Homo-oligomer: A and B are copies of this chain.
Amino acid sequence: MASEISVDVAIIGAGGGGYPAAFFLDKSGFQVLMIDPIGNLGGNCLAEGCVPSKAVREASLVRAQAKKYSFFGLSGSVPSVDWKAILTYKDNVQTTRYTLHREEINNSSIKFYKGIGKIVDERKIEMITDNDHFYVFFKYLIIATGSCPKYLSIPGSHLAVSSHDLFKLSASVPFPSNPIIIGGGYIGIELASMLENLGAKPVILEFTDNLVSGLDRELSLFLAHRLKTRVQIEFGAKVECIKKEKEKFEVNYLKNNQHYSIESDLVIMAVGRECVSPEGIEKLGYATAKPLPVTNTLQLFDFPHIYAPGDVNGKSMLFHSAVLQSRVAAHNIAAGGQPLSRMDWKSVPYAVFTEPEIAGVGLTEEEALHLYGHNIEVVKYDYAVDSRAEILGETEGFIKLIFDGENKRLLGAHIAGIEASQLIAPLALAVRQRLDAEALAHVAFPHPMISEGINKAARTFSP
């Protein structure tokens, strides 16, 4: 018969939603038990997501820049791609981080297991490791099981690879010459952009009529406009099946009531991510693979002693958001469920690492119009007038700031263009702090950096 133990806090999942809470609560004096199938920290982000994909992307950017030598007064040739070497570089990044994380675990009192946490009831989970299983009673449970790539339910779906296959440790997917990417969400377009930079000719098949659903419409259009010069994008394309013949794949899709078929050496499934439910979630009355409904204190509505930070609640599927959610959950657990911290969902920024980069925070123009009627103000700073953009020869892009019309508080900020992922930081802080145009106008960001554009844009409403 399986043994039983009791802990203060059990945590299923050691990704961004899980481990920050684990460390905080461990330091708070709670007995913390955490289990994760990877057996280390970082979750999908490190195993197959942001970190390895950004490594490959960085290699692709280095290569892309060589195409611009003559712009800068240099002469030389574009470097050649060694795909295996790139994957090794990527693996090294991952391995180094796993080593750092291992030390963090070792320096704590957290009981950490590699394995599966299965919900038995609202007070008990079953822990299943490689060679054991036992029951754990808890006062508080944190479900931080994250998300995984979604697959279309079509014939041949299994023939496609996902970001998981591409970016996991020791991945062996060969470099594709003409990959078909199903899905124009942020993962699909990031892949398209980096593979193109490395020499591939990607095709994106997107079901809707725009890229990255939920994005400020103007960014989405700009992104499509710019990406199209490098990547073939088919909008309104309903993929019907995938077939394989020898080493070739064939993808059939419907567009404008016409059937199309294209061939490729690799099919990538990038139709979004779905929540990963812990085993046994139905014991709490929830459906599998559906977002867990949480308050902004990260508690399940029905079980205030159970917290679900990170992708599993589907509210803000980003690693840095998960980390912040985990902090919120930890504070509130320490206070016995009293609300010491809350998520301010709207102040979490996103970034899409395509070329051009996209980043944003707060309300999109569409959301702002919906909430404020027409009482909003929008200002755009165009990269065409920016010193640094000109120096870099990257003058297509803009910073778009959305203010409420009455008080000129910053409601949202959306950026398309180089360095967007860095420019968003001060704007995320501004949205978080409810700053107004005057606050952004009366600070001086360094010259000649694009962040000056934030000052200039704000000075439109606060001259």
Contacts and interface: CB of A to CB of B under 8 A. Distances in A.
Nearest to A409: B434
A100 interface: yes
Given A79-B69, A351-B446, A434-B409, A422 B439 contact: no
Contacts of A30: 336
Interface in A97-125: 97, 100
B72 A62 contact: yes
Nearest to A77: B76
A74 B62 contact: yes
Interface stretch (A150-158, A268-276, A280-288, A387-395): A387-395
Contacts of A439: 429, 432-433
A29 interface: yes
Contact of A422 (B319, B331, B451): B451
Interface stretch (A81-89, A126-134, A250-258): A81-89
A345 interface: yes
A390 B386 CA distance: 29
Interface string A409-442: 1000000000101111110111011110001111
Contacts of A331: 335, 340
Interface string A6-38: 000000000010000000100111100000000
Contact of A419 (B55, B89, B319, B422): B422
A293 to B, nearest CB: 14
Given A100-B385, A425-B423, A449-B421, A324 B442 contact: yes
A85 B62 contact: no
B75 A79 contact: yes
A63 interface: yes
A227 interface: no
Q: Is the interface of A mostly helix, strand, loop or mixed?
A: helix
A51 B385 CA distance: 13
Contacts of A338: 24, 27-28, 463
Given A74-B82, A89-B71, A428 B443 contact: yes
Nearest to A81: B74
Nearest to A325: B444
A345 B346 CA distance: 24
B45 A58 contact: no
A82 B78 contact: no
A331 B463 CA distance: 9
Contact of A423 (B346, B347, B422): B422
Interface in A308-349: 318-321, 323-324, 327, 331, 334-342, 344-349
A241 interface: no
Given A93-B390, A391-B58, A419-B422, A459 B72 contact: no
B406 A54 contact: no
B59 A62 contact: no
A50 interface: yes
Contacts of A321: 444
B77 A81 contact: no
Contact of A323 (B320, B388, B444, B454): B444
Contacts of A58: 72, 391-392
Interface of A: 16, 24, 27-30, 45, 50-51, 54-55, 58-59, 62-63, 65-66, 68-89, 93, 96-97, 100, 139, 296, 318-321, 323-324, 327, 331, 334-342, 344-351, 359, 385, 387-388, 390-392, 406-409, 419, 421-426, 428-430, 432-435, 439-449, 451-452, 454-455, 459, 461-463
29 contacts: A16-B447, A24-B338, A29-B336, A50-B387, A59-B74, A65-B65, A73-B86, A97-B387, A319-B448, A323-B444, A323-B455, A324-B455, A334-B334, A334-B335, A334-B340, A335-B463, A344-B407, A347-B443, A349-B446, A422-B423, A425-B451, A425-B454, A428-B444, A429-B429, A429-B435, A429-B439, A429-B443, A432-B443, A434-B434
A-B pairs, 5 with minimum CB distance = A76-B79, A73-B86, A73-B85, A28-B336, A29-B336
